[in-house]
Chains A and B, each alone.
Chain A
């Protein structure tokens, strides 16, 4: 069965960077892409961007351009999301999700809580 397993919770100071990993199993990794979505405490879902695991294509939400880096390692079926220059309002649960062509999100990871605190 399709599974996406994310790395553990992180606590960072303002201005630092965080890198979250997302390992996929149960499907052929390089035939899909991965979207990243975050959810601030008590809030809704906010799409951050998408990376293809079958081409060199990436898409980013306007508000995250220049601050988020999306990568994949097809040898380990793992996607990564790095968020730089962290601010207090970046505190959220970050999800990866399988997404064929951006906008076709189906299976989700369990989420990674990132807390930004001084």
Chain B
């Protein structure tokens, strides 16, 4: 059971907007930065959001994120087939003194 809670799956059609939620607590999301990672099949994770809302260079602006209290959310607009992947949120947890990940959300582009 993961410390951060994500829906196991999400889906959308090309061009649609989808959101993936990540729920935590005051000891992790509530007091530390949230990072988001995209893992394409058979590859290593890649960071797509850092420090809650920042997008690294090279990541399309179709990807955006937000954080409020003890929850965070990743949004993908203009959905494309190449966005089909697993998405993970992560944050430092002050109580556990550990990095905690969400269980991952498998995004399917229908």
Contact = CB atoms under 8 A, between A and B. Distances in A.
B97 A59 contact: yes
Specify the main secondary structure of chain B where it touches its partner: strand
B104 A45 contact: yes
A62 B104 contact: no
Interface stretch (B18-26, B40-48, B64-72, B75-83): B40-48
B50 A108 contact: no
A99 B99 CA distance: 11
Contacts of B44: 95, 108-111
Interface in B74-106: 88, 90-92, 96-104
Contacts of B37: 45, 105
Interface residues of B, number: 24
B47 A44 contact: no
B91 A103 contact: yes
Chain A interface main SS type: strand
Contacts of A61: 98
Interface residues of A, number: 23
B101 A47 contact: yes
Contacts of A62: 96, 98
Q: Which A-B residue pairs are the 5 nearest by beta carbons?
A: A103-B92, A47-B99, A45-B101, A44-B104, A108-B44
Given A46-B101, A109-B44, 5 more contacts: A44-B101, A45-B104, A103-B91, A105-B90, A108-B46
24 contacts: A37-B101, A44-B88, A44-B103, A45-B37, A45-B104, A46-B101, A50-B99, A59-B97, A59-B98, A61-B98, A102-B92, A103-B33, A103-B90, A103-B99, A104-B50, A105-B47, A105-B90, A106-B35, A106-B50, A106-B56, A108-B45, A108-B46, A108-B47, A109-B44
